[in-house]
Structure 1
C-alpha cells in the first residue's frame, strides 16, 4: 500500500514537472539547503510582519519582496529543468542569486537619491548598469520558474519601447536603452508597478494561506465532501470532481496544479466508474481551470483587478460569483449528459465517505469562512488573510496528522515562499509589459487596430478581443495572464459604452480558458497524462465541457446584469440566470449528443440554436429560445418512450 502511494506521489511530481514549469525545482540542494531554508523563511516572516505592522513605501516593499524571490529562484531552479535532479547548486547560480539580491538592495540603499535627485539630474552610469542587470536577471529567473511565453512578450515589449520610431502604424518616438531601463527598474509604474505591489502585500498572504490549508489536508476534505454530496447520483464521480475542483479553486492559484492535485484522486475514480479516459481528464481539467474564476482568490488576480478597475476587492468577489457558478453549472451539466449517454450510475452508499467522519472535520472550513466573512464585512484583504492564516495554523494543532513540529513550521515558512516564487516573477515581468504599454501608449493603438479590423462592429470587436486574449493567455500563470490581457486587449472594449468591470471580466475569462484551449492547453495535457488519454482529444472535450466560459463573457458584456451592474434587481438577475442555465443545458446536451435520449445531428443543431437564443440578453429572444428548447424536449420524451416500448416488446 505504501509503495503504491509513493508511486502515485512520484507520478504526480513528474506530471507537475512536465506541464507546470514552477514544479521543476531542485530538491537535493546539498549544503546550500540551509540558505534556501533561511531565506525562504525570512521572506515569509517579512510578509507576515508587514501585514501586521504595515507595508513600507511601494518601491522598498517591492524591492525586498522581489529581491528575495529572485535570489531563491536562482538557488532553487536550474538553468534547464532536466538538471533539477542533480545534487547541489552550481557556483554560477549562487553568483546570479547574489546579483539578483544586490540589484534590488541597490534600490533600498539609494532610494532617496533615485526618487528625488535622479529624476531631475539624471541617472548615473551605475544606475543604468544596475537597471540593465536587474531586468536581465528578472527575465532569466522568470524563464526558469514560469516559462518562455511571458518572457518573449516582455522582450517584444522592450523592443517596441526601443524601436518604436521604426514601427509603422502603431509606432512611437522611441526611447534609448538607458532611459527605458531606468524607467522599467526604478519607477513604481513598471517592474514595481501595481502587479508587484499587490503581490508584495495581498497575494503572498493568500498563497501562504493556501499552503497552510494543504498542510491541514483541506484538499482531501473537499474531495470527500464533494463525493458525499454528489457521488450517489448519475455519473457521481465526475460530478464530485467538478464540485471538489470548484471548492479547491477557492484557494488555488494554478489550473495545472489543481488538475494534478485533484486529478490524481478523481480521474482514476471516474475511469473506474466507466468514463472514457479522455473525458475523465477533460472533466478534471475544465473544472480545475474554472477554479481560477472562483472567488475569493480567483487565481490571485482579483486583487490586481480591484486596483485596475477601482472597484473594492470585497465587491469584486461578489460580482464574480454568478459567472463562476454558471461556469461550473455548465461543466456539471456536460458530465451529467455524458453519464446518461454512457449509462454510468452513481456510487453505492458503502462506497461514499461516511457522514460522521466529515462532520468531525467541519472545523477545516473555519479559516475559509473567516476569510470570506471578513472580506464581505469590509475588512482589508491583508487583515482577512492574516486572521485566516492564524486560525488555520491553530486548527492544525487539533489533530495528530496535521500537527507540526518546530522543524515542520520552519519548512512551512520556506514552502510559503517557494509557492509564491512563480507569481512574484510573473507579476514583475508582467510589470515590464504593462509599463511599456502605458509609457508608449500602445494600449489605445492596439484597441484602435482591433476596432479597425472589426470595422467598428461591436460583436466582431468582442470576437477579435477574445482571440487576442486566448493567444496572449497561452502558457501564462493567472496573474500575469490577467495583467497582459487587461493592458493589451481590454482597451478595445473600453472604447464602447461597456462597464469597466464587464470588460475586465471578459478578458480575464478568455485569458484563463487558454489553459484548456488547444493547441496550448496545459491543464488538459496534465489531465491526459494522469488518465493515459490523447492530449488533443482531451483538450477538445474540455472546451466542450467548458463551453459556458466561451458564452458567459458575451452575456455580461452585452447585459451586465450577471455582474450585478445596471438595473440589477432580484427579478431581473433571476431571469437572466435561469435563461442562461437553460441555454447552457441545451448547448451542453447538443455538444455531448445526448439529452433525454441520443440526439440526431439536426436535433443537436436546433438545440444549439435554441440555447444561444436562451442566453441572448433579451427577454423576447430568450422566450423564442425556450420555445425551441421545449419542442426538442417534447420530441425527445416521445422518442425515448417509443424506444423503451420497443425494447420491452423485444424482451417479451
Structure 2
C-alpha cells in the first residue's frame, strides 16, 4: 500500500471516511437494490485501489501519486456512474433481446480493463491472468480445440453478461463485499481502537503463558481469537506473530517450529466462528441459508483443529522440556477477568447472528458495543476522532476483498454463460471413474492449487464454481461440499510449495521457509483430514441430529489425540515409529462415518496410549 504524502493522506482519509459512512448507513437503514448497491460499492472502491496501490511495487514508498493514477481513479468511476444515471432502463431491458448500445460496450470494456488493472495491483498477477482468460473465453472459446471448445458469443453478448447483469462482475460475491464484509471490516476497526483486540492477547497470555510451552499456546489462542475477526491468514501472522514468535524462541522453541505454530494458528482463524472472513458470507449466499447455519457447521471442525494444535504444542514442550513464562512477565489474571466486559461486543454479535438477525445489523450492534466497552478504559476510550479513525481503519482494508470478489464474478459469469463448469464436472467424473472419494481428492487438489496463488476468498469462489457442482452430482450434501472447498482454499496457506502464511511467519522467525512449511503441514494435519470426514459424516458439521452429532464429536476428539501422538511421537516419553503408525491408523478410524468403526478407533487410541503410559511407569 502506497505511503501517501500529507495532503493526499488527508484527501484519502476524508474519502475513505465517506465510503465507510455510506456503508454504515446502508447496513442500518437498508441497502439499495442489489445491482445498484454493488455498482456503487465498486465505484467507490476503485479510486482507493488506484490511489493506495501503485502501478509498480517499487513505488509503494513514494509519497507522490502520479497523474495517470489520478486519471484512472476518476475514470474508473464512470461505468458505475452510468449505471446510477441509467439504472431504470438497465433493469427493465431484456437480456439477450435488447441491443447493447455502443456506449454500454465502451463502458463495459473499460470496466473490464479497470478491474484487471486493479486486480493486478491489489490482489496480484495470478488472479488477473485467470480473470483475463475467463473473460476472453466467453468470446474466443468457440475457437478452442477439443474439450476446451466453448459456445460462440458475440462481443456485445460478452459485455452484456459481464456489465449489464448481476451474473458477472455484479454477482453474489461482490454483493457480499458491498454489504456484509464492509460493515464487518469497520467492526474490526472498532475492535482494534476500543482495545478489544489487545484484550484477546492479554487473555491468551494470562491463562496459557505459565504452562509448558506457554508462548506457543499464547500464539494459538490469540490467533484463534484475532483471526476469527480478521479472516486473513497472513495479516493474522503479522498481527500476532511479531509478539508470539520471539517469545517462543526465547523459551527454546526452534525458529522453524515457532514460525510453524504461528502460521497454523493464524490460518485457522478463517475457519473459527463467528466471522471467518468474507468466504463464509459468500458461502451462505451461495447456499441461500442464514449465516448462522454456516457458523454452527463450522464450530466442531474449528475446535478440533485448534485442539489438535494446542495438544501438539503441549506435547512438543514436554518433549523438549520447555517451560512457560513467569507470572511477572504476564498480565494479571484478576485484572484480565475484571475486563471481561470487553467481550460483550463479540457476545452480542454471536447472539444476534444465532437469533436470526441480519449479519449487517449484528455487526452494527457490535460496533456500538465496541464503542461502549471502550468508555471505562482511559487508554482506549473512543472519542469522536477515534470513532472516525476506526471507520477509516476498517474501510481502508476493503479494496482487497472488493476487487477480488468483483474479479471472481467474471469467472463465475463465464462459467455460467459458456458451460465451462459442465466441462469441468465431466472431467472430474471421467478421472474419478464414478468413485466419490477420488472426486473429493481431485477437488481438494484444485482448491489447494487455486489457494496457493489467490486470496482465500477468490480461491473459494473459483473452487466452488468449478468443484461444488461435481460434488453435488455425486450426492454430497451442498453445505459439506462448500465447506470442503472452503477448507482446502484456506489450508493452502500452510501447504508447500507455496505456503504463504508459513513463509510470512518464517520471515519473522528468521527460519527456513520450506522447513517451516513442512512443520506447519504436520501441525495442521487434521485440517486435511476433517473435510473428507464431514463429507461422509454430517455430524461433524452439527447436522446429523443429537445422536449423530455426539458420536461425531466423540470420534473427532479421539482423532485429535491419535493424530497428535502420531505427529509428535511423544506420550510422556518418545514412542517408537511403529506405534506412531498405529495412532495414525486409529485417527482415520475415529473419523470413519460408521459408528462401530469410529468407536473401535477411539478404543484403539485409548488402549495404545494407556499401554505405553503403563510401560513408561513400569520402566521408571
TM-score, length basis structure 2: 0.96
Q: Offset at 1:403?
A: 2.9
The structure 2 residue matched to 1:132, chosen from 103, 109, 113, is: 109
Q: How far is the alpha carbon of 1:227 from its aligned partner?
A: 2.0
Deviation at 1:281, TM superposition (A): 0.8
CA offsets 1:543-583 (integer angstroms, 9 cap, x no match):
111111101111110111111223x21x3322221222212
1:111 to 2:87 alignment: yes
Query: Where do 1:502-517 residues align within 5 Å?
Result: 502-517=480-495
Aligned to 1:92: 68
Matched, 1:64 2:40: yes
Find the aligned partners of 2:549 and 2:569 in 1 and give their Cα distance. 30
Q: 1:579/1:159 Cα in 2 relative to 1: closer, same or farther (>3 Å)?
A: same
Task: Give the structure 2 partner of residue 76 of structure 1.
Answer: 52
CA contact (8 A) 2:522 2:567 kept: yes
Please report how far the alpha carbon of residue 230 of structure 1 lies from its aligned counterpart in structure 2 after TM superposition.
Answer: 2.0
Give the match for residue 214 of structure 1: 192
Corresponding position of 1:195: 173
Q: Which residue of 1 aligns with 2:209?
A: 231
Structure 1 residue corresponding to 2:565, chosen from 562, 586, 589: 589
Kindly report the root-mean-square deviation, in angstroms, between the aligned alpha carbons of the 2 structures: 1.7
Deviates more, 1:178-187 or 1:377-386: 178-187
**Alignment pair present for 1:258 and 2:198:** no
Is 2:127 aligned against 1:164?
no
Deviation at 1:170, TM superposition (A): 4.3
SS of 2:54's equivalent?
coil
Separation in 2 of the partners of 1:523 and 1:122? 48
SS of corresponding position for 1:85: coil
Counterpart residue number, 1:563: 541
Q: Is the Cα–Cα contact under 8 Å of residues 234 and 336 in structure 1 kept in the other structure?
A: yes
Is residue 207–residue 253 contact of structure 1 (8 Å, CA) maintained in 2?
A: no
In the alignment, which residue of structure 2 is the partner of 1:314?
292
Asked if 1:43 is matched to 2:19, the reply is yes
CA contact (8 A) 1:475 1:522 kept: no
Q: In the alignment, is residue 329 of structure 1 matched against residue 307 of structure 2?
A: yes
What does residue 625 of structure 1 align with? 601
Q: 1:483 aligns to what?
A: 461
How do residues 565-580 of structure 1 correspond to structure 2 at under 5 angstroms? Answer: 565-566=543-544, 568-569=545-546, 571-580=547-556
C-alpha distance in 2, partners of 1:470/1:542? 15
C-alpha distance in 2 between matches for 1:453 and 1:587: 30
* Equivalence for 1:17: none
Using the alignment, how far apart are the partners of 2:572 and 2:67 within structure 1? 65
> How many aligned residue pairs are there?
618
Rounded to whole Å, the distance in 2 between the matches of 1:624 and 1:404 is 56
**Contact 2:539-2:550 at 8 Å conserved across structures:** no
Q: Distance in 1 between matches of 2:377 and 2:579?
A: 55
> What is the CA-CA distance between 1:627 and the residue it aligns to?
4.4
Matched, 1:389 2:367: yes
Structure 2 residue 577 is the aligned partner of structure 1 residue 601 = yes
1:59, 1:412 → 2: CA distance? Answer: 28
In the TM superposition, what is the alpha-carbon distance from 1:118 to its structure 2 partner?
A: 6.9
Long gaps (5+) in structure 1: 1-24, 646-652
- Distance in 2 of aligned mates of 1:177 and 1:446: 24
Contact 1:30 1:88 (C-alpha < 8 Å) held by counterparts: no
How far apart are residue 287 of structure 1 and its match? Answer: 0.9
TM-score of the superposition, structure 1-length normalised?
A: 0.92
SS class of match (1:363): helix
Structure 2 match to 1:14: none
Matched with 1:614 is: 590
Residue 6 of structure 1: aligned partner: none
Partner of 2:425: 447
Q: Deviations over 1:343-388 (max 9, x none)?
A: 1123333333202321342222111111111111111111111111
Helix, strand or coil: the match of 2:304?
helix
Match of 1:18 in 2: none
SS of corresponding position for 2:497:
coil
* CA-CA distance at 1:469 after TM superposition: 0.7
For 1:603 and 1:407, locate their aligned partners in 2 and report how far apart those are by CA, in whole Å: 60
Q: Which string of whole-angstrom CA distances, capped at 9 and with x for unpartnered residues, describes residues 246-298 of structure 1? A: 11122112110111101111111111121111111111111110000011211
Conserved 8 A contact 2:234-2:504: yes
- C-alpha change, 1:403 and 1:617, in structure 2 (3 Å) is same
Quickly say closer, same or farther: Cα 1:123–1:86, change in 2 above 3 A. same
Give the match for residue 649 of structure 1: none
How many angstroms does 1:300 deviate by? 2.1
Which digits, 9 at most, give the CA deviation of each residue in 1:624-646, with x for residues without a partner? 33343345324422442355x3x
**1:149 to 2:141 alignment:** no
Note if contact 1:170-1:446 (Cα within 8 Å) is conserved in structure 2. no
Determine if contact 2:190/2:391 at 8 Å carries over to the other structure. no
